[in-house]
Structure 1
Amino acid sequence: MKNQPFEWTQRCALRIYVSFRQPPPNTHFWGRHFGPSLGQVLLQRAQAANLQQAVLYHIKAGYLAGEVITHHFSESTPASHPLCLELIDTYERLMDYITHNRPLLVEATVVMSNPQTFQLL
């Protein structure tokens, strides 16, 4: 089922930065090594929450707080390499998403844009 379109003035973006192989919190041994990464889990939960748009970006090069610069290589990507999950919807729906997924976001960096950012000039 497709979401109904909404006005540009209602749009808000939420960016969640996690490591490439960061496991979800409280994951058992096998899940940490062979289960989905935190980025994948958050992406699946965004779809389950029926958010307007969700995109999981593989960053070409960068670093997260306290880490060294890493580069994305298709053959071998460091576990600490950053990923960015960008969610777009209304402010209220994104705040609901944060509230429902707060335990998973403890070790992530979360940035929300100001809704006025998307107003057309």
Structure 2
Amino acid sequence: MVQFQQSRFDTSFAALSDATRRGVLERLGRSDASITDLAETFSMTLTGMKKHVSVLEQAGLVTSEKVGRVRVCRLGTSRLEHEAEWIERYRQLWDARFDKLDKVVEELKRKENNDER
């Protein structure tokens, strides 16, 4: 189970690591689009866009189907819930660490002010 989740996270985060792929997800969030439309939107070749879509498909973030001679893309079934939970745990950890740091800084300021008096 842990190995499966780690592999899934690796695939998801690798897919999201590229600005073009994040842009494709944003674009597909508004409406379905063909590979040709996506390639034109991002000023790239069809081959390049097909590679980006393939990475997104492997992560479950996008699905595509051939409709006649056109390949139509839409958002996939992955809602990134597990990835968001993982990120949230680390956000909470860092928030707690920064809260402790704030307390240390405040204490140092109090001591400094008392020393000046």
Larger radius of gyration: 2
Same fold, TM-score > 0.5, yes or no: no
More helix by share: 2
Q: What TM-score, normalized by structure 1, do the two folds share? A: 0.30
Bigger relative contact order, structure 1 or 2 (CA pairs below 8 A, ≥6 apart): 1
User: When you count strand as a share of all residues, which structure comes out higher?
Assistant: 1
